[in-house]
């Protein structure tokens, strides 16, 4: 499937919470997020839904216009729009969406640009697909402390 990269919708930052992983063989129950973490997660989910709605409305170009510089250095506006349009055309009209995953990660700059990323995934039913398709929207915390989209993909 064509690799779709890098959309950007601005989301003002809140406090970021890193979730530590346990090194013990039996992982303890996941800690409950703090109220601030819950607010941050809700903001990220809303921002991802805004990006998806723009894509649904065939506004991928406008998404790219607000993209992180990380995105704009990797893919041209035209290539981004063509890729999103081609992939969305194959799956058909979107239906129900359910939040599937929201994660944060820190990049050391080896595979991705350095910095903090957030990934929001939805299980989405599309008209031309029997099973839900994963819609993944990725964000980067830019140097100005604003979250901007860095990716959109269907899998």
CATH number at residue 149: 3.10.450.100
Residue 132 lies in a domain: yes
Residue 143 lies in a domain: yes
Residue 2 lies in a domain: no
Predicted local confidence at residue 22, as pLDDT: 29
Residue 21 lies in a domain: no
Predicted local confidence at residue 26, as pLDDT: 56
**Please, which residues have CB within 8 angstroms of residue 30's CB and are 6 or more apart in sequence?**
19
**Percentage above 90 pLDDT, the chain:** 69
How many domains are contained in the chain? 1
Helical spans, DSSP H, in 21-122: 35-56, 60-65, 69-74, 77-91
Residue 10 lies in a domain: no
* Confidence bin at 112 (pLDDT 50/70/90): confident
* Confidence bin at 9 (pLDDT 50/70/90): very low
Domain that holds residue 63: 36-154
Distance CA 139, CA 5 (A): 11
Residue-wise pLDDT for 53-84, tens only, equals 999 999 999 999 999 998 999 899 999 999 89
Residue 128 lies in a domain: yes
Residue 27 lies in a domain: no
**Which whole number is the average pLDDT over 106-124?**
93
Written as six digits, the tokens of 149 are 């989209």
Distance CA 140, CA 153 (A): 15
Predicted local confidence at residue 33, as pLDDT: 84
Residue 101 lies in a domain: yes
Predicted local confidence at residue 27, as pLDDT: 54
């Amino acid at each position: 499937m064509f690799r779709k990269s890098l959309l950007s919708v601005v989301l003002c930052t809140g406090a970021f919470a890193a979730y530590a992983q346990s090194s013990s063989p039996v992982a303890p129950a996941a800690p409950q997020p703090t109220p601030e973490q819950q607010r941050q997660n809700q903001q990220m989910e809303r921002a991802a839904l805004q990006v998806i709605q723009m894509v649904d409305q065939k506004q991928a170009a406008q998404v790219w216009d607000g993209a992180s510089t990380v995105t704009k250095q990797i893919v041209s506006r035209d290539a981004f729009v063509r890729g999103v349009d081609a992939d969305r055309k194959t799956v058909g009209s979107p239906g129900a969406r359910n939040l599937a995953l929201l994660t944060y990660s820190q990049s050391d700059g080896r595979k991705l640009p350095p910095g903090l990323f957030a990934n929001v995934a939805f299980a989405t039913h599309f008209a031309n697909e029997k099973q839900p398709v994963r819609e993944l929207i990725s964000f980067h915390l830019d140097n100005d402390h604003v979250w901007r989209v860095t990716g959109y993909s269907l899998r």
